[in-house]
């Protein structure tokens, strides 16, 4: 384990106004962090928020998580969805310490209420309020990051507009218990990169580790302040950026003797992930139309536009030969 630090970018400034020098330097910092590490820690309060409101959000969301996981397993298993990976995970032989539930559209009061009504037949107003408030701040951060990324690559503004329209957010709650015996594995989640565009995480105690960019070591994400979020690039964003941004490989190792909770908001495009034409070209050998594009962007495309839920379904159904390279199998340009 190395103690290499994860970049920190302050996006909380009241001066973070589009086009100002603060904005331009945030653009540079975010892009550099995403290209080199696939992640960064964002300091962010949300519009109108401050450090006391973020402490409140932090306490409330983990209180909500505690309440959710204290429900009987049969109740939690009622968290089903027609969308792949938007449902209950638990009782896994591979990761027995781990349990997780997903709230689809967690910034919407209607959708969050319908999740809560399944868990608590009489409803649970405080759970809904905490989930919606936390998700709204996190989604605002997600959109700020995507806007910064689009601008910093100089891609057509339509890509950002499309993201605002098409991003389907899902909020996942996780609980990891402590291994019962010294011999039991302490792996909460094995090494993986998310298949989302962006995932934003908050943890109650340490446990999350990030793969160092240039070697095989892991960097521990230390305890986070209530105003900091870990922003990670998913495989879909890697494809979107034509490989400029690396998706963030991460794992969870239960090193503390205490139950760990985490909450993560991920974005999945409801429809096609369009790869900006500014970020590459299809060479004559891989272009269906036989057209040779301008080569000014210098990088042949590695993926074609793809349906994001189609990719998730491809993995869930077992069609993908290998989880890690699924995106290449699904829409890669050979
Ligand atoms: O619990 C965590 O910190 C990580 C969760 C995770 O990897 C995920 O949501 O994909
Ligand atoms: Fe993950």
**Is pLDDT at 223 greater than 90 in this prediction?**
no
Residue spans per domain, the chain: 8-274
Is the interface score ipTM higher than 0.95? yes
CB of 308 sitting under 6 A from ligand 1 = no
The pLDDT of 42-66, averaged and rounded, is 93
**Is pLDDT at 4 greater than 90 in this prediction?**
no
pLDDT of residue 290: 44
CB of 234 sitting under 6 A from ligand 1 = no
Q: In the CATH scheme, what is the code of domain 8-274?
A: 2.60.120.330
**Closest ligand 1 atom to Cα of 189:** 7
Confidence of residue 168 (pLDDT cuts 50, 70, 90): very high
* Protein residue whose Cα sits closest to atom 1 of ligand 1: 262
pLDDT of residue 293: 47
CB of 95 sitting under 6 A from ligand 1 = no
CA dist., res. 322 & res. 236, Å (int): 16
Confidence of residue 296 (pLDDT cuts 50, 70, 90): low
**Is pLDDT at 154 greater than 50 in this prediction?**
yes
Confidence of residue 13 (pLDDT cuts 50, 70, 90): confident
The pLDDT of 210-236, averaged and rounded, is 93
pLDDT of residue 285: 55
**Is pLDDT at 287 greater than 70 in this prediction?**
no
Measure 271 CA to ligand 1 centroid, in angstroms. 24
Confidence of residue 289 (pLDDT cuts 50, 70, 90): low
pLDDT of residue 1: 53
The pLDDT of 120-146, averaged and rounded, is 97
Measure 298 CA to ligand 1 centroid, in angstroms. 34
Confidence of residue 315 (pLDDT cuts 50, 70, 90): very high
CB of 189 sitting under 6 A from ligand 1 = yes
CB of 147 sitting under 6 A from ligand 1 = no
Measure 29 CA to ligand 1 centroid, in angstroms. 24
Measure 131 CA to ligand 2 centroid, in angstroms. 19
The pLDDT of 272-297, averaged and rounded, is 70
Measure 180 CA to ligand 2 centroid, in angstroms. 24
**Closest ligand 1 atom to Cα of 208:** 3
């Amino acid at each position: 384990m190395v103690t290499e630090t994860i970049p920190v970018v302050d996006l909380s400034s009241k001066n973070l106004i589009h086009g100002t020098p603060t904005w331009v330097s945030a653009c540079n910092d975010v892009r550099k962090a995403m290209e080199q590490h696939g992640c960064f820690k964002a300091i962010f309060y949300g519009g109108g928020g401050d450090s006391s409101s973020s402490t409140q959000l932090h306490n409330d969301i983990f209180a909500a998580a505690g309440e959710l996981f204290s429900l009987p397993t049969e109740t939690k298993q009622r968290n089903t969805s027609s969308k792949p990976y938007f449902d209950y995970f638990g009782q896994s032989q591979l990761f027995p310490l781990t349990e997780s539930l997903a709230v689809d559209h967690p910034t919407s009061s209607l959708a969050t209420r319908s999740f809560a009504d399944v868990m608590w037949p009489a409803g649970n107003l405080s759970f809904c309020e905490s989930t919606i408030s936390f998700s709204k701040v996190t989604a605002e951060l997600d959109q700020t990051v995507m806007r910064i990324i689009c601008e910093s690559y100089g891609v057509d503004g339509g890509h950002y507009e499309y993201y605002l329209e098409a991003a389907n957010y899902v909020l996942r709650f996780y609980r990891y218990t402590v291994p019962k015996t010294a011999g039991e594995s302490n792996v909460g989640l094995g090494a993986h990169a998310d298949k989302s565009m962006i995932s934003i995480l908050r943890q109650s105690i340490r446990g999350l580790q990030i793969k160092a960019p240039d070697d095989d070591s892991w960097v521990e994400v230390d305890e986070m302040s209530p105003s900091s979020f870990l922003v990670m690039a998913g495989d879909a964003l890697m494809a979107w950026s034509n490989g400029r941004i690396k998706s963030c490989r991460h794992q969870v190792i239960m090193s503390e003797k205490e139950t760990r909770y985490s909450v993560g908001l991920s974005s999945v495009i409801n429809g096609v992930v369009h790869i900006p034409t500014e970020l590459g070209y299809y060479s004559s050998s891989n272009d269906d139309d036989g057209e040779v594009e301008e080569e000014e962007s210098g990088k042949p495309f590695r993926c074609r536009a793809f349906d994001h839920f189609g990719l998730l379904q491809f993995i869930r159904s077992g069609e993908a030969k290998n989880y890690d390279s699924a995106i290449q199998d699904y829409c890669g340009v050979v």
